[in-house]
Amino acid sequence: RGSSCAKACKTILPEDKVRCVPDCAVLLQACDDEAGEKLLPEGYTRGGYSVLSPSAVIRHSVRKDVSGSIGERHIESFVELAKAMLGRGRRILFLPHMYSYIASECDREVCREIIAALPTSADIQLIEEDIGPREAKWLIAHSEGCVVSRYHALVAAISTATRVVTIGWNFKYRDLLEF
Protein backbone atom coordinates (compact mmCIF):
# COMPACT_ATOMS: atom_id res chain seq x y z
CA ARG A 1 0.00 0.00 0.00
CA GLY A 2 2.98 2.32 0.20
CA SER A 3 6.55 2.87 1.30
CA SER A 4 5.94 2.21 5.02
CA CYS A 5 4.14 -1.04 4.27
CA ALA A 6 6.85 -2.07 1.80
CA LYS A 7 9.52 -1.35 4.41
CA ALA A 8 7.70 -3.57 6.93
CA CYS A 9 7.32 -6.36 4.36
CA LYS A 10 11.04 -6.23 3.56
CA THR A 11 11.77 -7.26 7.15
CA ILE A 12 10.23 -10.70 6.45
CA LEU A 13 10.55 -11.11 2.66
CA PRO A 14 13.45 -10.84 0.23
CA GLU A 15 13.74 -7.24 -0.99
CA ASP A 16 13.33 -8.24 -4.66
CA LYS A 17 9.91 -9.78 -3.83
CA VAL A 18 8.42 -6.54 -2.45
CA ARG A 19 6.83 -3.88 -4.68
CA CYS A 20 5.41 -0.57 -3.59
CA VAL A 21 2.08 0.06 -5.32
CA PRO A 22 -1.10 1.90 -4.33
CA ASP A 23 -4.10 0.00 -3.00
CA CYS A 24 -5.86 -1.79 -5.86
CA ALA A 25 -9.15 -0.19 -4.75
CA VAL A 26 -8.07 2.92 -6.68
CA LEU A 27 -9.08 0.97 -9.81
CA LEU A 28 -12.60 0.18 -8.58
CA GLN A 29 -15.25 1.86 -10.69
CA ALA A 30 -18.10 3.72 -9.03
CA CYS A 31 -21.60 2.40 -9.64
CA ASP A 32 -23.57 3.88 -12.53
CA ASP A 33 -25.35 7.21 -12.12
CA GLU A 34 -28.82 5.69 -11.95
CA ALA A 35 -27.87 3.48 -9.00
CA GLY A 36 -25.91 6.28 -7.32
CA GLU A 37 -28.67 8.84 -7.55
CA LYS A 38 -31.09 6.42 -5.86
CA LEU A 39 -28.85 6.57 -2.78
CA LEU A 40 -29.08 10.33 -2.41
CA PRO A 41 -31.45 11.49 0.31
CA GLU A 42 -34.44 13.53 -0.81
CA GLY A 43 -33.39 17.05 -1.75
CA TYR A 44 -29.72 16.15 -2.18
CA THR A 45 -28.16 16.63 -5.61
CA ARG A 46 -24.79 15.82 -7.12
CA GLY A 47 -22.19 18.24 -5.84
CA GLY A 48 -24.64 19.70 -3.32
CA TYR A 49 -23.35 17.95 -0.21
CA SER A 50 -20.19 17.11 1.69
CA VAL A 51 -19.35 13.64 2.96
CA LEU A 52 -18.23 12.99 6.52
CA SER A 53 -16.93 9.51 7.28
CA PRO A 54 -15.80 9.09 10.91
CA SER A 55 -14.20 5.95 12.29
CA ALA A 56 -15.24 3.48 14.96
CA VAL A 57 -11.59 2.40 15.08
CA ILE A 58 -10.52 5.86 16.24
CA ARG A 59 -13.61 6.31 18.41
CA HIS A 60 -12.95 3.13 20.35
CA SER A 61 -9.17 2.83 20.07
CA VAL A 62 -8.33 4.65 23.27
CA ARG A 63 -10.60 4.38 26.31
CA LYS A 64 -13.59 6.36 25.08
CA ASP A 65 -14.86 6.92 28.61
CA VAL A 66 -11.80 8.97 29.57
CA SER A 67 -12.33 12.70 29.24
CA GLY A 68 -10.07 14.11 26.54
CA SER A 69 -9.32 10.70 25.02
CA ILE A 70 -8.56 10.38 21.32
CA GLY A 71 -11.93 8.72 20.79
CA GLU A 72 -13.80 11.50 22.54
CA ARG A 73 -11.87 14.17 20.63
CA HIS A 74 -12.67 12.36 17.38
CA ILE A 75 -16.38 12.79 18.07
CA GLU A 76 -15.95 16.39 19.23
CA SER A 77 -13.95 17.25 16.11
CA PHE A 78 -16.62 15.91 13.78
CA VAL A 79 -19.36 17.67 15.76
CA GLU A 80 -17.56 21.01 15.53
CA LEU A 81 -16.79 20.49 11.85
CA ALA A 82 -20.41 19.63 11.10
CA LYS A 83 -21.65 22.68 13.01
CA ALA A 84 -19.30 24.92 11.05
CA MET A 85 -20.41 23.38 7.76
CA LEU A 86 -24.09 23.78 8.64
CA GLY A 87 -23.39 27.40 9.61
CA ARG A 88 -22.09 27.94 6.09
CA GLY A 89 -25.19 26.45 4.53
CA ARG A 90 -23.66 23.10 3.63
CA ARG A 91 -25.53 19.83 3.45
CA ILE A 92 -23.84 16.89 5.17
CA LEU A 93 -24.02 13.26 4.21
CA PHE A 94 -22.64 10.90 6.84
CA LEU A 95 -21.23 7.86 5.08
CA PRO A 96 -20.29 4.93 7.33
CA HIS A 97 -17.62 2.59 6.02
CA MET A 98 -18.07 -0.30 8.42
CA TYR A 99 -21.45 -1.68 9.45
CA SER A 100 -21.52 -4.18 12.29
CA TYR A 101 -23.84 -5.55 14.94
CA ILE A 102 -20.95 -4.96 17.33
CA ALA A 103 -21.37 -1.29 18.25
CA SER A 104 -17.66 -0.69 18.92
CA GLU A 105 -16.87 -1.73 15.32
CA CYS A 106 -19.75 0.08 13.64
CA ASP A 107 -19.12 3.43 11.94
CA ARG A 108 -22.88 3.94 11.60
CA GLU A 109 -23.11 4.08 15.41
CA VAL A 110 -20.33 6.66 15.50
CA CYS A 111 -22.20 8.71 12.88
CA ARG A 112 -25.36 8.48 14.97
CA GLU A 113 -23.43 9.65 18.04
CA ILE A 114 -22.19 12.71 16.15
CA ILE A 115 -25.62 13.44 14.68
CA ALA A 116 -27.20 13.24 18.15
CA ALA A 117 -24.88 16.06 19.26
CA LEU A 118 -25.99 18.30 16.38
CA PRO A 119 -29.09 20.43 16.02
CA THR A 120 -31.89 18.67 14.14
CA SER A 121 -31.65 19.62 10.47
CA ALA A 122 -32.81 18.36 7.09
CA ASP A 123 -29.28 19.20 5.95
CA ILE A 124 -27.86 16.26 7.93
CA GLN A 125 -28.42 12.81 6.48
CA LEU A 126 -26.99 9.38 7.22
CA ILE A 127 -26.66 6.48 4.81
CA GLU A 128 -28.32 3.89 7.01
CA GLU A 129 -28.11 0.89 4.70
CA ASP A 130 -24.97 -1.17 4.23
CA ILE A 131 -23.99 -0.17 0.71
CA GLY A 132 -21.21 -1.59 -1.42
CA PRO A 133 -17.85 0.00 -2.21
CA ARG A 134 -18.92 1.04 -5.72
CA GLU A 135 -21.92 2.91 -4.32
CA ALA A 136 -19.82 4.55 -1.59
CA LYS A 137 -17.32 5.63 -4.23
CA TRP A 138 -20.12 7.19 -6.28
CA LEU A 139 -21.39 9.18 -3.28
CA ILE A 140 -17.87 10.44 -2.53
CA ALA A 141 -17.11 11.22 -6.18
CA HIS A 142 -20.26 13.31 -6.52
CA SER A 143 -19.79 15.27 -3.31
CA GLU A 144 -18.25 18.73 -3.16
CA GLY A 145 -15.62 17.31 -0.80
CA CYS A 146 -15.18 15.07 2.21
CA VAL A 147 -13.54 14.61 5.56
CA VAL A 148 -12.76 10.96 6.16
CA SER A 149 -11.24 8.75 8.81
CA ARG A 150 -11.58 5.50 6.92
CA TYR A 151 -8.89 4.34 4.50
CA HIS A 152 -11.09 3.22 1.63
CA ALA A 153 -13.08 6.45 1.79
CA LEU A 154 -9.73 8.21 1.30
CA VAL A 155 -8.93 5.86 -1.60
CA ALA A 156 -12.32 6.65 -3.18
CA ALA A 157 -11.78 10.40 -2.87
CA ILE A 158 -8.24 10.40 -4.23
CA SER A 159 -9.04 8.06 -7.11
CA THR A 160 -11.97 10.27 -8.20
CA ALA A 161 -10.13 13.59 -7.75
CA THR A 162 -12.53 14.62 -4.99
CA ARG A 163 -11.34 17.18 -2.45
CA VAL A 164 -10.53 15.37 0.77
CA VAL A 165 -9.15 15.90 4.26
CA THR A 166 -8.22 12.78 6.18
CA ILE A 167 -7.89 12.09 9.87
CA GLY A 168 -5.88 8.90 9.84
CA TRP A 169 -4.74 6.54 12.56
CA ASN A 170 -2.27 4.41 10.61
CA PHE A 171 0.74 5.03 8.37
CA LYS A 172 -1.19 3.69 5.37
CA TYR A 173 -3.05 7.02 5.08
CA ARG A 174 0.21 8.94 4.69
CA ASP A 175 1.55 6.30 2.30
CA LEU A 176 -1.47 6.74 0.02
CA LEU A 177 -1.13 10.52 0.08
CA GLU A 178 2.55 10.19 -0.92
CA PHE A 179 1.66 8.39 -4.18
pLDDT tens per residue, range 10-55 = 899 998 888 877 777 788 899 999 999 999 999 999 999 999 999 9
**Global pTM value:** 0.88
Round to whole Å and give the CA distance between 138 and 111.
Answer: 19
* pLDDT given for residue 63 in this prediction: 58
φ and ψ at 171, to 5 degrees? -60, -20
Rank 19-23, 100-104, 141-145 by mean pLDDT and report only the highest. Answer: 141-145
* pLDDT given for residue 64 in this prediction: 55
Please, which residues have CB within 8 angstroms of residue 118's CB and are 6 or more apart in sequence? 79, 82, 83, 86, 124
* pLDDT given for residue 121 in this prediction: 95
Please, which residues have CB within 8 angstroms of residue 79's CB and are 6 or more apart in sequence? 114, 117, 118
* pLDDT given for residue 21 in this prediction: 77
Checking if the pLDDT of 67 tops 70, the result is no
Q: Find the mean pLDDT for residues 136-142.
A: 98
Residues in the chain, how many?
179
Count how many Cα atoms sit within 13 Å of the Cα of residue 108 in the half-sphere of its side chain.
12
Checking if the pLDDT of 160 tops 60, the result is yes
| 168 pLDDT tier (thresholds 50, 70, 90) | confident
